[in-house]
Amino acid sequence: MAQPLESRINAALRSAARLKDVETVISDVETEITAVTVKFDEETARSIDPALTTPQAREARNNAADLEHDVRRLNASLQLLRERRQKIIDDDTHARKLARYEAAKATRDELALHIRTRYPALAMELVEIAQRIAASDAECSTVNADRPKGTPQLESAEYLARECGWSWPSAVGSVPVHRIGDAVVPLLGRPGTYLPLQPGNALAKNSHWSNQITADQEFAKREVPGLTAKTVASKETVDA
């Protein structure tokens, strides 16, 4: 086996070897195996050639034995090189999968904290809007029943803001309008809802409903298990 190739085989089997270098050496080893095999066949044929003298035949036999040994060594090296190539590929695949996993986890963790801290405030804002709409609708209904002569009926603030009525105009489908107060807005950390407003909590506080919301707002102040704003920030710094 030629020394330069042997040195390159040794280098390719080291942990720092690049995939491209390993593949190049594999190709060179395969070429060398083919060439040495041809020489082995030639020397084997010469070792039994009756035209040669006995010393010449013995020399050919010894050459064939050496070449056969070289082929076995090359094949052993080829096997190790192929295993090394596969390990590099596997390691690279694992690294890419791990990087993708960690990136998805960091994004998920940041979103989980955002939901925990922002969702209850947004839900309460929607509740407040829905309660104000209900209160305004009740007041307008009372005023409309005894409004000054010649004045138009007061429509709901929600209808005014959304430019609609009980149903959407035919240009956009003529379907019933879903009121903000009828939206389903679940509590964050327990069964129940912020919305829709119920008859008992539309205009006045309902004890059970109020207690549920108070408990949910307290739940939102707790840390997400295993997550804090600090740990998420540190992950984002590492990813950057």
Number of domains within the chain: 2
Percent of the residues in the chain that have a pLDDT greater than 70, as a whole number: 90
Say if residues 10 and 18 touch (Cβ distance below 8 Å): no
Domain holding 43, by residue range, is 3-101
Residues 32 and 87 in one domain: yes
Residues 143 and 211 in one domain: yes
Residues 139 and 187 in one domain: yes
Mean pLDDT of 83-100: 94
Say if residues 129 and 180 touch (Cβ distance below 8 Å): yes
Of 210, 173, 207, which is closest to residue 194 (Cα–Cα)? 210
Q: In this predicted model, which residue has the larger pLDDT, 120 or 199?
A: 120
Q: Is residue 109 part of a domain?
A: no
H/E stretch holding 213: helix 207-219
Residues 145 and 87 in one domain: no
Q: In this predicted model, which residue has the larger pLDDT, 231 or 77?
A: 77
Residues 163 and 57 in one domain: no
Whose tokens are 């998805």? That residue is 104
Q: Is residue 164 part of a domain?
A: yes
**Domain stops at, among 101, 128, 162:** 101
Q: Is residue 161 part of a domain?
A: yes
Residues 61 and 131 in one domain: no
Residues 221 and 125 in one domain: yes
* pLDDT, tens only, 7-48: 999 999 988 889 999 999 999 999 999 999 999 999 999 999
Mean pLDDT of 97-103: 95
Enter the pTM of the model: 0.67
* pLDDT, tens only, 138-157: 999 999 999 999 999 999 99
Q: Is residue 106 part of a domain?
A: no
The β-bridge partners of 185 are 195
Confidence of residue 238 (pLDDT cuts 50, 70, 90): very low
Q: What is the pLDDT of residue 201?
A: 54
Cβ neighbours, 10 Å, residue 143: 13
Query: How high does pLDDT run on average in the chain?
Result: 89
Q: What are the contacts of 233-239 at 24+ separation with CB within 8 A?
A: 235/102, 235/105, 235/106, 235/109, 236/106, 236/110, 239/102, 239/103, 239/106
Q: What is the pLDDT of residue 171?
A: 75
What does the block give as tokens for 175?
A: 């379907």
Residues 70 and 155 in one domain: no
Q: Is residue 113 part of a domain?
A: no
Q: Is residue 70 part of a domain?
A: yes
Residues 201 and 89 in one domain: no
Residues 127 and 205 in one domain: yes
Mean pLDDT of 178-182: 92
List Cβ neighbours of 66 (8 Å cut-off, separation of 6 or more).
Answer: none
d(CA 227, CA 221): 13
Q: Is residue 14 part of a domain?
A: yes
SS3 content of the chain, % helix, strand, coil (to 5): 70, 5, 30
Q: Is the confidence at residue 204, as pLDDT, over 80?
A: no
Q: What is the pLDDT of residue 226?
A: 87
Residues 146 and 217 in one domain: yes
Residues 94 and 125 in one domain: no
Q: Is the confidence at residue 1, as pLDDT, over 50?
A: no
